């Protein structure tokens, strides 16, 4: 049987072969264009890019490269010199006697790889003896840039930093230049150095109209003050001189109604004295007057996001993971974004230290004997990014979070390396894909790294903040993160004992939900405050640190709700 089948097969093959030869019908294959990847080529202005596909069946072929209906090349490969930023679409047609094949490719032309640089500092008048370590914030480039520092056009240093020391009265322009083969950029700051007695006498306050509930302490703290030597302070309450002699004042009264307060700072020098006076009005309000009781229609879930002001961070503006649209251009846009995320139980990042979110409820949340409200984060064992929690009563009944905040005590309250009234100023980067530089009110500073491997939004600086710098403040906890591997591959962010959002605490955290007790409220002096209820909750990112390739520590919030008895 096998032999018979083989004979039949060979016979058919012979017949087919004979037929083909007799008719002389030959079939040639069409040419093919083989492109690796997605056919998108990237080049920077001033550089060349070579488009050189592979081909099949392209013997004796002709080639035609077309851009905007213009033939630009008739060779197997095309070299394009990039002159302007933008995208170009290139169509290649390969033709042989058998026919033609075409493919479209794209050339994305980027800006030159110039190392944009800026100094995170504004022009200032300083006293003799002032020192400042200046940092060059440089956008990363493929080619390592050279950095030069100049003081009044005389080169004084090279590298990422320069220590300026004000030894002599005068005007000093500090200029930094970063350059590579693609080009250069520069930034400068002017410092006017004067004798200490010539510095402006400053004693300023952010608010002059204040209110407080009867019997509670109200700390009145200046926002800016200087110099600190040769100055005396005095205070008057309702026209009566107080014994207080500090820069700040603690007001407390059980008498309802409006009270007046006057602060006087006197600078004594050889030529006499200079006085700065500030007058305040303080409304003392009745305890519980504007409490909103829960009813049958009340919800345990937060009602509204009143404010969302994050610090810069890798998820701020991120459209891939964090859900931004790129159209968040106002504070209202930002709160809408945060509300949409939270109402769907999605996380909202608060960025680096100081970033915060404020929510309210449709009723006053009562202080029970146990936990009163909860905050869901995304912590897990080895990854805690704690946020300090603050509460507020709507003391004046206007529905706005413009009353007095009270911090909820946590395990780090009162610890030596926990800083109250800590302030950080963030500076807008000079260009895309640059780190965000920050300075604090303790003489420190650093940057929020741009992580190009994970995120591609141009900036970590919030798009709806129009100022070139902004300042956030709150309570800062000591950083605990560390590299367990020793080679930067495994960063650990341990939990804090209790009292913080987004914190994997054994005491108050279950399934990434932290619970909070209003009875832990403290005032600005660290003293316990009795609050029967609250109306607003604020979560504030509490650590200024970063974990290598993971980036900055940033508190995340997924939802906030009341715990009912």
Question: How does pLDDT run across 509-533, given as a tens digit for each residue?
Answer: 999 999 999 999 999 999 999 999 9
Q: Which residue, among 451, 430, 415, 427, has the nearest Cα to 554 in the 3D structure?
A: 451
CATH of domain 32-110: 2.60.40.10
Confidence band of 308 (pLDDT split at 50, 70, 90): very high
Confidence band of 122 (pLDDT split at 50, 70, 90): confident
Give pTM, 2 decimals.
0.79
Give yes or no on whether 117-197 and 200-285 have one common fold.
yes
Give the pLDDT confidence of 84-104 residue by residue, as tens digits.
Answer: 989 999 999 999 999 999 999
- The values of phi and psi at residue 175, to 5°, are -125, 135
Beta strand spans in 111-205 (E):
117-119, 124-127, 131-138, 146-151, 154-158, 161-165, 170-180, 183-194, 202-204
Q: Looking at domain 117-197, which of 3.40.50.2020, 3.90.76.10, 2.60.40.10, 3.60.130.10 is its CATH number?
A: 2.60.40.10
Give the pLDDT confidence of 186-234 residue by residue, as tens digits.
Answer: 999 999 999 877 888 899 999 999 999 999 999 999 998 887 788 999 9
Its CATH class, for the domain covering 200-285, is mainly beta
Contacts of 513 (CB under 8 A, 6+ apart): 374, 375, 376, 377
Give the residue extent of every domain in the chain: 32-110, 117-197, 200-285, 304-562
**Residues 221-228: contacts with CB within 8 Å, 24+ apart?**
221/247, 221/248, 221/421, 221/524, 222/247, 222/248, 225/265, 226/199, 226/200, 226/201, 226/202, 227/196, 227/199, 227/201, 227/267
What mean pLDDT value characterizes the chain?
91
Give the pLDDT confidence of 503-514 residue by residue, as tens digits.
Answer: 999 999 999 999
| pLDDT of res. 228 | 77
């Amino acid at each position: 049987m096998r032999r018979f089948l083989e004979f039949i097969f060979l016979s058919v093959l012979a017949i087919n072969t004979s037929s083909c030869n007799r008719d002389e019908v030959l079939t040639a294959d069409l040419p093919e264009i083989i492109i690796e990847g997605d056919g998108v080529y990237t080049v920077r202005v001033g550089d060349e890019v070579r488009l050189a596909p592979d081909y099949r069946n392209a013997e004796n072929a002709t080639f035609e490269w077309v851009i905007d209906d213009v033939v630009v090349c008739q060779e197997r490969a095309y070299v394009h010199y990039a002159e302007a930023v933008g995208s170009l679409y290139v169509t290649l047609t390969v033709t042989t006697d058998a026919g033609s094949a075409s493919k479209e490719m794209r050339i994305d032309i980027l800006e030159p790889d110039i190392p944009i640089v800026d100094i995170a500092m504004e022009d200032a008048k300083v006293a003799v003896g002032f020192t400042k370590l200046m940092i060059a914030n440089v956008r990363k480039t493929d080619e390592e840039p050279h950095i030069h520092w100049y003081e009044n056009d005389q080169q004084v240093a090279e590298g990422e930093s320069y220590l300026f020391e004000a030894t002599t009265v005068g005007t000093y322009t500090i200029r930094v230049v970063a350059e590579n083969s693609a080009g250069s950029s520069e930034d400068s700051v002017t410092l006017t150095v004067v004798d200490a007695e010539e510095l402006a006498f400053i004693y300023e306050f952010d608010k002059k109209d204040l209110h407080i509930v009867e019997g509670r302490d109200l700390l009145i703290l200046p926002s800016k003050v200087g110099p600190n030597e040769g100055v005396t302070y005095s205070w008057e309450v309702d026209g009566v001189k107080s014994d207080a002699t500090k820069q700040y004042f603690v007001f407390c009264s059980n008498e309802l109604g409006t009270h007046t307060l006057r602060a006087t700072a006197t600078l004594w020098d050889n030529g006499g004295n200079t006085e700065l006076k500030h007058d305040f009005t303080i409304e003392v309000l009745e305890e519980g007057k504007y409490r909103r009781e829960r009813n049958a229609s009340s919800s345990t879930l937060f009602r509204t996001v009143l404010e969302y002001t994050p610090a810069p961070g890798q998820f701020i503006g991120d459209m891939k993971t964090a859900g931004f649209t790129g159209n968040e251009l106002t504070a209202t846009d930002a709160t809408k974004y945060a509300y949409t995320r939270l109402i769907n139980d999605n996380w909202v990042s608060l960025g680096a230290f100081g970033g915060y979110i404020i929510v309210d409820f449709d009723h006053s949340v009562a202080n029970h004997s146990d936990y009163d409200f909860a905050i869901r984060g995304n912590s897990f064992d080895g990854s805690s990014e704690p946020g300090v929690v603050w509460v507020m009563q709507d003391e004046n009944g206007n529905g706005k979070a413009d009353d007095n905040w009270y911090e909820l005590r946590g395990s780090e309250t009162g610890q030596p390396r926990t800083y109250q009234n800590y302030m950080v100023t963030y500076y807008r980067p000079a260009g895309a894909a640059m780190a965000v530089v920050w300075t604090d009110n303790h003489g420190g500073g650093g940057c929020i790294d741009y992580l190009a491997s994970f995120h591609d939004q141009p900036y970590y600086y919030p798009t709806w903040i129009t100022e070139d710098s902004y300042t956030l403040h709150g309570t800062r906890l000591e950083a605990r993160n560390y590299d367990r591997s020793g080679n930067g591959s495994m960063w650990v962010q341990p939990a804090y004992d209790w009292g913080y959002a987004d914190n994997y605490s054994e005491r108050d955290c279950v399934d990434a939900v932290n619970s909070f007790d209003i009875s832990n409220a403290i005032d600005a002096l660290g003293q316990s405050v009795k609050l029967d209820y609250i109306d607003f909750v604020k979560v504030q990112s509490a650590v200024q640190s970063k974990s290598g390739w993971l980036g900055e520590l940033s508190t995340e919030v997924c939802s906030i709700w009341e715990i009912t008895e």
